[in-house]
Amino acid sequence: MQDPRYVLNINPELVRRILVEAIRHTGEAIRGEAVGRWVVNLSGGLDSAIVAFLACEAVGPENVRALLLPYRTSMPASREDAMRVVEALGIGYQVYDITPAVDGLYLSKGDDPDAANKRAKGNVMARMRMIFGYEECERWNALMLGTSNKSETLLGYTTIWGDSASALNLIADLYKTQVRQLARNIGVPQVVVDKAPSADLEPNQTDESDIGFSYYAVDSVLARFVDMGMLPDEIKADLRATQGELGIDWDAAVDKLCGVATEAAMRPGLVDIMEYKRRMTPIVPKISRATIELDYRPPKQWGR
């Protein structure tokens, strides 16, 4: 069995070649053309940036179009970072303000957009961005490239029919930690690589604050649970022994992500709770030993 301490390490060049070929072959299979066109919703974050870089390598910048889709509360830095990627790649882009579309949904119901439930509104924003993306695909005779990583997908940190929708979800078999490794290899701007991951659905929101743990902690647990097939108690013991000096509450992280199954308590973790979101997975290039919905579809064991 592979040493779980190194399960997050990847061979960036090999992964890069696999993903580039996946874009080419998927486009050819769906469109029947050796070089297809692709649309990427570019948020200014790491995931969409690396997808845009790989798409340009696969089919050329002339066949990739980026959409920048700010809402009125979006951080100006997000657009600036997205434009860094556009300029680095030399790709065509469009900026569409989704504010009238999102606010219009609430106004049509007689509701105040500013008083809307934050989570519900965030889902509306994510789905509206994908509507803009798919409309652009029809307009440009292109396919939609997904940008959700494996960490987000396993934890349900995605929106059904929003950012989880695409023809090809390119990095859905790479944990966030691995996405960052690959980004350094292919030349994504350093400011984008280093920035705190955020869905940019509200000011100063970050993924890690929402989840309650760093992506490194999350990925260290998930890689052992999903890819290595380790039991929660084994994961806790291994992480305390090998990474206890990091000051992370590994027991709490394992309980939250993997659940608790003892005689005294039985409670599912986020990976099991969010399984329903993974049952509509687009095409995912296989990288790991436990690709979601291909090798990894956990049985339901909760309840008595």
Tokens standing for 296? 């990894």
| 267 backbone dihedrals φ, ψ, rounded to 5° | -145, 125
User: Of 198, 200, 172, 175, which Cα lies nearest the Cα of 280?
Assistant: 172
Give 15-20's long-range contacts (Cβ < 8 A, gap of 24+). Answer: 15/174, 15/178, 15/182, 15/287, 16/54, 16/57, 16/182, 16/185, 16/186, 18/285, 18/286, 18/287, 19/54, 19/58, 19/170, 19/171, 19/285, 20/54, 20/57, 20/58
pLDDT in tens, the chain (304 residues): 445 556 799 999 999 999 999 999 998 888 887 778 999 999 999 999 999 999 999 999 999 999 999 999 999 999 999 999 999 999 999 999 999 999 999 999 999 999 999 999 999 999 999 999 999 999 999 999 999 999 999 999 899 999 999 999 999 999 999 999 999 999 999 999 988 777 666 666 677 777 888 999 999 999 999 999 899 999 999 999 988 888 899 999 999 999 987 777 778 899 988 888 887 778 889 999 889 877 776 655 444 3
Q: Give the model's pLDDT for residue 225.
A: 94
Sheet of 168-169: strands edge to edge? 92-95, 64-68, 38-41, 143-146, 168-169
Is the Cα dihedral 256, 258, 262, 265 positive or negative? Answer: positive
The residue behind tokens 């066109």 is 37
Helix 46-59 and helix 176-186, axial crossing angle in degrees, nearest 10 = 50
Tokens standing for 119? 């989570």
Is the Cα dihedral 120, 121, 124, 125 positive or negative? Answer: negative
User: Of 77, 239, 64, 83, which Cα lies nearest the Cα of 143?
Assistant: 64
What is the pTM (predicted TM-score) of this model?
0.90
- Provide CATH code, domain 4-211: 3.40.50.620
Q: Give the model's pLDDT for residue 303.
A: 44
